[in-house]
Structure 1
């Protein structure tokens, strides 16, 4: 009998997803040995005591007997009408039921969208750092990621001039993640308008990852991209996972907007791919109407004194008192993206640090380079733990950084 390993797709060679990668596997091994681990690697509200709002749960429970058959490949008609109505209220005047697609989370819809768009070698403009699913889905669908910088030196905002210089005849799409994961940046109306003008000049499709929607802090304002895009083809992605803390429901949606003469073939491709996977989870779709028309359950969490706002404050206070860290204050989403002062730790390596922090201080973070960032001094943590837990986490991070600084002090 042959012992030759089964060959796998070469398209996986450059695909990374360290958020659930080797460090997360090592954390599970340590837990099996009896260790208690602070897991700050995933923005999963249900694991930190957040609950799906009761009116969403009631809607799902009340409609279980209507959820046992496949639905239309684009989703339940009434749920799509609610999403289209939200889009129209935001200024997408031509939004309609047939231009809404409901999927098993935004992740599935990102993959379907890139599959509909890309031919081998086509280029997609992605932010660096990015949410790594975007890079992975681009590669797995035969495309080539091309990264535009969103550095801490520029408050994690992109530079429109740099983006335009990266465009080639193979560029098909521009991805905008706002509010941003992993940095927490929230883009201004003027910046978004500049990106729209670039897409218009170069006939690009805009892909707007807006899963963190209105999760913003202090005076930051979420501005949806599609109303600014107007006739420019735009796919806007959102869902129940973050704003409504319903990750396990696996319900996301995309809204197709832009001139119908330009988006007809894309609509047909999306419909075909949606049909091939039959439909999204039907039971969870009943939560869409109460989520979008019911009471706002997130504003109190992000307002001053709310749990997420105070968690953010705990992170900012901890970084301010650190000897080694700095951070651009996140204005939205559920994460912070601190950086190490390389003058104090010149040999710092984010992956090595993350492993040492896990082994010695029982804290699981994600190295910044996992987000397709060329430098190695950042790490991402989620703001979902209680504020007191985050203060404890940062005291552990400080201890670990101090251990790393000792050899440098001796050399000096």
Structure 2
């Protein structure tokens, strides 16, 4: 049986990696397919390529609603974890999320009508929402305190990889865009990640904190021993187990429930809750997701590049963003969470100011090149704090008994915006 570092790497690459590649891949995957001729023929109701005037405006509205239906599903999926997360446990919730995502993917890539595609999009979002709300909590609860930040910040790295992977795969299918296999194949590929999660999750340990919550301290002790690669009766394991038990006893002594999130008291639960909510709100307001989704269009309109070259440059920009996530990986535990957020926010503000100025010269080619350059610089600063550390912080500031609920609300708030 795997233990210690081997077990930690298995958690990362069999569960965390595919879960958050799904997050990034599906968030931007459809946007790059909507101009494929085979797509337009299949779904004429959302054709914005061959229409003009009022019809184009109407189709664009419908297209936006169809694409956004994924977000609505994810919002529901993350919120439902507030209630089922502590009932099912972390592993069963993750398995359920992967199953639901797989059903959505099957409906999407086999769709011959817009209604079926939209239903598939909602169901896919539901599953991904459950994964995004549960996986960081499970990983955080299984990680030692000194490695928790690094381990959980990997979520942002895999989201960035998902965005980049989408662009490269869509570019690969771009040269066969006349065939429906181009967009169906692109939408079917992430099913591999769902299957990986489903096949792996029960080979890995349950959260020790959830086991203690369910009065299974003996199992939690064995789990901690495997995770830390130590003897089950060693002082380190007994001390960590006792710490979890004391934390749960303190939170349960006051009969803590969901309604207590909205009260202050000695633990300042509402203050912690507001921090979690505002952090995810600010993460979305940075515009990082918007830029990642629409970056090919930005390059086409600003630099007047051809569609093919714009897609390559967009894929390169998002690959650069993924590489820059390694900076956040090393910064988050060395400088702390607040410093990472401040560096990231300050750098992005500088880039946004530069983009505002350069884009004011609409017909200046040099200004357009500067705009493209600052998109790359922006993609350096974003992962330092606001693409990974934002998943760590809510899980750390929430009390054990309300950890899933607070984290689920914070992730739902992220999907909302």
* TM-score, normalized by the shorter chain, greater than 0.5: no
TM-score normalised by length of structure 2: 0.28
Structure number having the greater strand percentage? 1
Q: Greater helix share, 1 or 2?
A: 2
Q: What is the TM-score when the length of structure 1 is the normalising length?
A: 0.28
